[in-house]
Structure 1
């Protein structure tokens, strides 16, 4: 990473201010200041190792598509009469999340989008802050479900039949 002298000076000043505001972490701030003052380029990345790379828009768009699909399924289910509702397992209508190990960025973005931005509240389920870690892969299943859902022309009308709901859930 490259930093100009001006950028380094700005960061040094910020670490000085943080040291005053947060004396418990003063040693860390002093270390970071030394890295910047001495121009230790090899260690610049240490200053930002906790800052993640940009989340690809494709991931956030796919998460939102999945949430929209679950919204459609749930609203459609609510509109079914009692006899039709009996054909659908309501447990399968719950958005479970993503695998925390292999689908981490999806899981974290879903949590952020739903709870920090307060979207798709009808999918939250029990408790205000579920972790959405399924501990098993879900993305391939969701993608199959999305393909089926997107093939249905009236998918946004929230009037999917029990048969259409099951066809999507069983994809």
Structure 2
């Protein structure tokens, strides 16, 4: 039986949690962020931007909701899993950023689909690059997300 995306992402979270140690800091001391924090912030911002683009397109082109609704939901799930990777007081992260991106939808449905396809392709390419720069647990999660985004490109073609 093929594992579901949810099972793969859940396993990735468990792997990262077990491979990430916590450091203790005194009152008023901010932990020094590990090298993955900046990258993780960027991935979270990227997922939030994709959701904003989907929201803008779906608001402007309701006829695409059947085709795009489940793809948008994948990004909502990605964002939730990524946000769980922040462990206050650790070198993995300090606080979950709350990006509030906005996006504008192209005027036509074909233009909207093209914009989403392009954004998905860019995100998948970024995830493929990022997996080389992070710990194995986070690498597995980013690879899973990137594969999903690449699948979205194919689905939108």
Fold similarity call, TM over 0.5: no
Higher helix share: 2
TM bucket (normalised to shorter chain) is 0.3 to 0.5
Q: Give the alignment's TM-score, normalised by structure 2.
A: 0.36
Give the structure with higher Rg (CA). 1
Q: Whose relative contact order is higher, 1 or 2, with alpha carbons under 8 Å and at least 6 apart?
A: 2
